[in-house]
Amino acid sequence: AQRVTQPEKLLSVFKGAPVELKCNYSYSGSPELFWYVQYSRQRLQLLLRHISRESIKGFTADLNKGETSFHLKKPFAQEEDSAMYYCALSAAGANSKLTFGKGITLSVRP
């Protein structure tokens, strides 16, 4: 079975502070990990995926297979980063269903 755990529901930081959104997963096979973001009144959209190893909007995430984690990080938060963030998992190469965590609300205060 696939499971994604996001242990916190809310993270509130001041502008310019570092951000780390935690994600742990459980999957017996080879996973693909994603972070999706939902800004206020907008649809869910892909932020980044581990296989691309990109930095999007200053965010990065490294897959740690030993710790089964895929934490999302940004060194200096901006107010426009305030949103709901979901970690998701899919079976590698299968292009199939996503299993999502419960999500975390990031609030960046001025």
What is the binding site for other proteins (CB under 8 A)? 4, 6, 9, 43-46, 49, 51-52, 86, 88, 95-103
Three-state secondary structure call for residue 91: strand
Instruction: Please state the closest distance from residue 85 (CB atom) to other proteins, in A.
Output: 10
60 or 99, CB closer to other proteins? 99
Contacts of 110 (CB under 8 A, 6+ apart): 14, 15, 79
In angstroms, the CA 75 to CA 82 distance is 15
Instruction: Please state the closest distance from residue 9 (CB atom) to other proteins, in A.
Output: 8
15 or 71, CB closer to other proteins? 71
